[in-house]
Structure 1
Amino acid sequence: MELDLSKLDARLDDLDADGYLVDADSTDADQYYLSGFDAPDPFLTLYDGSTHLLFVRSLEFGRAKRESRAETVERFTDYGYDDRLDEYGRQEAAHRTRAAFLDAYDVDTVAVPPRFPLQTADGLREQGIDVLADGQDTLAAVRASKTDEEISHVRAAQEANEAAMAAAEELLGRAEIDGNRLRLDGEVLTSERLKEEIEVTLLRRGCALDETIVACGSDAADPHDRGSGPLAPDEPIIVDIFPQDKATKYHGDMTRTFCVGEPDEQVREWYDLTERAYRAALDAVEPGATGADVHDVVCDVYEDADLPTLRDDPGAETGFIHSTGHGVGLDVHELPSVGPDGGELEPGHVITIEPGLYDPEVGGVRIEDLVVVTDDGYENLTDYPVSLVVE
């Protein structure tokens, strides 16, 4: 995949830095994006107009030469690490080796991401390298604009997501009401059972996730409560799935709220308002609009119905108590923001639209789609019905 790193080049010019340095394993999205290499142990990636990798050990050396997008792939031993061990010990030998690597590319000043390891930064400074924190998190901003290839990866993850959501809804549809519990095949239907079905479905489609949300009743009143225990009839059940494709590392993200039985009047009203807010937000997505503009549209819908929002009351603990959305890619939460501080939306931005309402006395409702900003509006990457009552 060809990367457009012109924004990173411009930032290096602004900082008067010779290169951009990442020290992390490939679970760090900046590392994977810049290096194009998947490895479980930390390694250095230097970008100075070209990309250079440095590994502590030789374990990943051969594979990195075959699979990474780097111009050069080297090891600590290539820069005299072994010769320094007896004299300096492991830690200082590593610092001196990293500095020698940078010196080989005439790098005296490096910019680094905001969460760069402090020990590495201090060690490089001791060796005379200037290390500048990139407070603008430029590489995260670069990653926000997706190529067609990246969008296809997100689309594939979202298709697997839809299959998992359908599997969850199918179990809910087969469940029977037994007093204040749902039962499936004679057993109490729990949040854990629904999550299991979701995870198995995703695994069969090459995706995985560490956790998902299946939250019922008061659990659903906390937007990030994962949910646990028996699922109840007549109450909203929030199902929020955000898988990662194991091959490409890109994520999907979708939420639906289901009810088995008869939701009460307030839940129905909340759901209808949330669907109205969701559709209004989608209509507001276009290049040139800001994430803040889209968020304001959602707040308008809720505030017109006399429901609290954080825009109206920053201390609100019920009502609409989160942003309208966020970027999705190698991280499930990344730029751009679709919230009060959200900047201008550009073609290639992949964002969620996910308004919701929350109150422990009622539960919670949320609807979330994943869309990509296009030249003339947006394309919805989600193809799943929006409906409250499970038939």
Structure 2
Amino acid sequence: MNLDLTTLDAYCREAGVDGYLVDADGEDATQRYLSGFDAPDPYVTLYVRDGVAEGEGGSTHLLVSALEYGRAAEESRGDSVERGSAYDAQRLVEEYGQHEGSDRAVAAFCRAHGVESVAMPERAPLGPAEGLREQDIDVTVDRDDRVERVRAVKTETEIAHIREAQKANERAMARAEELLREATVEEGVLHHDGEPLTSERVRTEIEIALLHDGCALDETIVACGADAADPHDRGSGPLRADEPIIVDIFPRSKSTGYFADMTRTFCVGTPTDRAREWYDLTLAAQEAALDAIEAGVSGSEVHGAVCDVYEDAGLPTLRADDAAETGFIHTTGHGVGLDIHEYPRLSTQDNELEAGMVVTVEPGLYDPAVGGVRIEDLVVVREDGVENLTDYPKQFDIDV
């Protein structure tokens, strides 16, 4: 996959640095993006801006352990891959100790590529950053996380990875819905196979379905009733009839590293009139947001379209009251890629949407007296609208 790093190149020039350095393992999204490599232990990726190395454009170089060298040389997108031994790392560690020896080797690696100054992400480890400074490599902190901004605009290959993860997500959602549809009701509690159907049981079945599809997730949300009134409550215990059940699944592909995200709200039995009204309003709010999205529009306009629907219905939002504890108490959406939450945001903050960005659209309403309702799709921003990557029904009622 070819990356367009012209924006990163421009940032390095503006910041007056020769390159951009990441010291992290492959779980770090910026590391994986720049290197195209995934390893469990930290390694160094150095992007050298255009014009630093004579006769070369921008280039990317990896410094890895001997253990990872063969795989990195084969799998990464680096223009070069080197081991610590190329910079006498073992001798330096023996002479100066683990930390200073490693810092000296990384500094030598930078200088070998013509780099005397680097920018590092805001959340870069403090030790390596200070160590490079002690070796006279100038380090600038990238407070604006420019690589995240670069990552926000996806290539068609990246979009295909996300689309594939979303299809797996939909199959997992179908398994959750299947359990709800198969359930019987005993004294207001859902039962399956003679046992109470719990949030934990549904989550387990979701995880099993995702594993079969090559995806995994650390957590998912299956929250009923009052639990669903807290947007990030994972839910626990038996699920009940006649109450909204929020199912929010955000898996990551184990092969590509890209996330998907989707939420549906179900009610087994008969929802209250208030819950049904909330569901219909939330569906209308989502449609308003989807209609508002296109390249050049600010995320705040999309968020505003959702708030307008809710406020016109007399419901509280954080836009109208930043101390609100019920109603629409979160933002409309966020970017999705190698991180589950990344730039841009569909919120009160202004950030211009660009073609190729992948964002969630997830309005919702919450009140312990009613429960919670949220509907979430995953979409690609296009020049003249959206491409919805989500192809899953939006049906609230499940008949007993």
Greater displacement, 82-91 / 373-382: 82-91
RMSD: 0.8
SS of the residue aligned with 2:97?
A: helix
- Output the amino acid matched with 2:63: L
CA offset at residue 133 of structure 1?
A: 0.7
Which residue type is aligned with residue 196 of structure 1? T
**Alignment match, 2:200:** 192
**What is the rounded CA distance, in whole Å, between the counterparts of 1:385 and 1:240 in structure 2?**
14
Partner of 2:281: 273
- After TM superposition, the score normalised by the length of structure 2 is 0.96
Which one is further off, 45-54 or 78-87? Answer: 78-87
- One-letter code aligned to 1:170: E
Contact 1:274 1:367 in 2 (8 A): yes
One-letter code aligned to 1:28: D
**2:356 aligned with 1:348, yes or no?**
yes
Structure 1 runs of 4+ aligned residues shifted over 4 Å read: none
Question: Closer, same or farther in 2 for the Cα pair 1:163/1:342, shift >3 Å?
Answer: farther
Report the AA paired with residue 106 of structure 1. Answer: G
Matches within 5 A, 1:295-374: 295-374=303-382
Give the match's secondary structure for 1:111. strand
Determine the C-alpha separation between the residues in 1 that align with 2:130 and 2:75.
Answer: 31
Per the TM alignment, residue 72 of structure 1 is displaced from its structure 2 partner at its CA by: 1.1
CA distance in 2, matches of 1:297, 1:375: 19
- Partner residue in 1 for 2:135: 127
2:10 — aligned with what?
10
1:167 is aligned, of 170, 175, 198, to: 175
Could you tell me which of 186, 189, 195 is aligned with 1:181? 189
Specify which of 93, 99, 102 is matched with residue 94 of structure 1: 102
Q: How far apart, CA to CA, are the structure 2 residues paired with 1:135 and 1:258?
A: 41
In the alignment, which residue of structure 1 is the partner of 2:54? none
- Cα distance in 1 for partners of 2:4, 2:177 equals 40
Cα deviation, residue 86, structure 1 = 3.0
C-alpha separation in 2, matches of 1:92 and 1:2: 35
Distance in 2 (alpha carbons) for counterparts of 1:121 and 1:378: 41
* Contact 1:281 1:353 survives alignment (8 Å): yes
Whole-Å Cα distance in 1 between the matches of residues 95 and 17 of structure 2? Answer: 31
Aligned residue in 1 for 2:52: none
The aligned residue for residue 52 of structure 1 is: 61
CA distance in 1, matches of 2:79, 2:296: 36
For residues 104-123 of structure 1, the aligned pairs below 5 Å read 104-123=112-131
Taking the aligned partners of 2:107 and 2:356, their CA distance within structure 1 comes to 37
Report the secondary structure of 1:300's partner residue: helix
Is 1:152 paired with 2:157? Answer: no
Q: Is residue 2:247 matched to residue 1:239?
A: yes
Q: What is the letter of the counterpart of residue 22 of structure 1?
A: V
> How far 1:241 moved relative to its partner?
0.4
Any stretches of 5+ residues in structure 1 without a counterpart?
none
What is the total number of aligned residue pairs between the two structures? 390
Alpha-carbon distance in structure 1 between the residues aligned to 2:107 and 2:280? 59
The Cα of 1:26 is off from its aligned counterpart by 0.5
Shift of 1:91: 1.2
CA distance in 1, matches of 2:67, 2:350: 42
1:103 has 2:106 as partner: no
1:215-246 deviation digits (Å, cap 9, x = unpaired): 01111111111111110110000000001111
**Residue in 2 that maps onto 1:32:** 32
| TM-score under structure 1 length normalisation | 0.98
Q: Distance in 1 between matches of 2:90 and 2:25?
A: 22
Q: In 1, distance between residues paired with 2:95 and 2:192?
A: 67
Amino acid aligned to 2:72: A
- Structure 2 counterpart of 1:37, which letter? F
Q: 1:77: Cα distance to partner?
A: 1.7
User: What does 1:203-282 align with in structure 2 at a 5 Å threshold?
Assistant: 203-282=211-290
Contact kept in structure 2, 1:336 and 1:342, CA below 8 Å: no
Could you tell me how far 1:317 is from its partner in structure 2? Answer: 1.1
Q: In 2, Cα distance between the equivalents of 1:132 and 1:380?
A: 39
Q: Distance in 2 between matches of 1:385 and 1:159?
A: 13
**SS of residue paired to 2:268:** coil
- Deviation of residue 22 (structure 1)? 0.3
- Tell me the distance in 1 between the aligned counterparts of 2:397 and 2:350: 33
Distance 1:96 1:135 in 2: 25
The Cα offsets for residues 113-152 of structure 1, whole Å up to 9 and x where unpaired, read as 1101100011111111111011121100000001111111
Q: Check whether the contact 1:85–1:93 (CA below 8 A) recurs between aligned residues.
A: yes
Q: Secondary structure at the match of 1:382?
A: coil
* Structure 1 letter corresponding to 2:235: G
